[in-house]
Structure 1
Amino acid sequence: MKAIVSIPNTPEPQLVDRDTPRANDGEILVRVAASTVNPVDAMSPSADGRVAFGLDGEFGLGWEFSGEVVESTRQAFSIGSKVIGLTPNIGIPLSAHAQYVSVNADQLALLPDSLPFEDAATIPLNGLTAFQSLELLGEPAGRDLLITGAAGAVGGYAMELAKDSGRWGQVYGLAREDDRTFVEERGARLVTSVENLVGGGFRVGAVLDAATIPDTVLPAIADGGNYVGVLPAFPVEAPRGITSRSVLVHPDPATLERLANHAHTGTLVPRVERVYDAETQYAEAWKRVTTPGVRGRQVLVWN
């Protein structure tokens, strides 16, 4: 089968031939239909990325995928079932960017038939990160919430999930003026600068910092509030009794299935900018994902 991997001393992704994996006990073998290229896919093969993640040798690339079950050792996933999945164990020989992937059953969720594979493949990594980040912020209790990077993948999903829960007060999305329509369609109020938000002494109860700008947003949090970042390797120290935590995304099949159903009903709206042929256009996807200001996901389709 074809797979995309990182090899030492080469920052560019490599398309290689590898043996098709089999489903061991507790695993499901999926024929991958689509996989999403995320910024971490471009960062991890670099020299700095390998150091940051403690990576050595060759490893597979990719974190999220959609596809069809072809081998199963669990009754919950029959052959032919449409699924989405998360492969969060960075550094493994083969990962989501491959024609086939074998994963534990708890890394998968069933996919509604009407949801396109290309849209579905954008949900696991960023959808679970958004959901788990909101959970780490604690009980909403009507508090106001600021989400940075609101026009990005995590931020966009977080706005939709926060609004849909009905438990937060005002949800603010930090983004550019050009992103106003996107932010407001997701039920949030656009904020173009934190300084404008806190200029009158106003502070929110919680911040989900998808843009990783802690020094900018910590002054916007009320005393005793909550901050959640998305880079566990770089913990943030917070003043004034603010609780600071970082999300480390992990498999959660029940939540992943709910997210897929939210996408099916339109509560969660995947945003795909472009679809690429995995074997012939993968390099273009990698280049695009590192382009500043890109809105929407880059998705590979596998034949």
Structure 2
Amino acid sequence: MDSVVKEYKSYDEQVDLLSERGMDVGDCESARATLQRVNYYRLSGYWYPFRKQSKAGREDDFYPGTRLSDVLALYDFDARLRTAAFSALTPIELAIRALLGHELGRLDPCAHLDPGKLGPNARSGGAYSTWLERYEFKLRQSREDFVAHHDGKYGGILPVWAAVELLDWGGLTRLFGFAPRGVQNTVADACGLSAPQLTSWLKALNIVRNICAHHGRLFNRVHTLSPKPPRVGRHPDLDAVASDWSRTFGQLTMIQFLLIRLKVGRPTFLPVVLDSFPSVQAVPLTHMGAPKDWQSRSALWKQR
């Protein structure tokens, strides 16, 4: 059976199609230039909420009043949000690296190379072996000066406080999972969380980081991994948010919480970006999972 491939459409035909479906595209030349710089199917994720809803699902036609300029405003906001979220995650990642490397080094400078010195997760299944293979590959590929220094002076064996600098967020999360519970507790306590909670937060935020790094749509995404929140009463500023943790606002609240607890980064950055959410009647900020009074509900978001 022959496969069916969707028919190719030129930029002008794409503009015409949007117009036929009820979107106000504004100036046609400007709309064409937009589709030249932003793929039609990338933008389709932002005009999805503007498509008419029926019992069968979303239709191709748009609700009356749908404008391409509103779609672009959401697209541009999402780009700012990804940049801000990625920027905010960087100092958190660096702080976790430093904490974990320091605490594992307290046990043994090469604790990361000996599963016997790590926790039970490093000695069950093949996850640790897979992690070690990936770490050794990164070590061989690295051109960092500190790697060359240790290679010349210590035969290439990096102590764990240096080794963590080669790990990406996923590798760091897995090493945290391999660490003995005492080490996990110390690192998690610095974050105001328990070890299982920090594990779930690191996994969830790794997905957010990857979305940002690969230019995915972030603002109204429903996330597949929800974090384990602390018990009610431990952190009133977190309780006050009362967000759906699977929505982007909930994930951003996690970032705000960690920035403030770890005393790193710029906790003012994300609130300013959220405050720039465009005024689009069909797609309010609540599509992110944010309450209407998000700015005043919790001290986490009163950063100015």
**TM-score grouping bracket, smaller chain normalisation:** under 0.3
TM-score (normalised: structure 2):
0.26
TM-score normalised by length of structure 1:
0.26
User: Which protein is bigger by CA-based radius of gyration?
Assistant: 2
Tell me which protein shows more helix as a share of its residues: 2
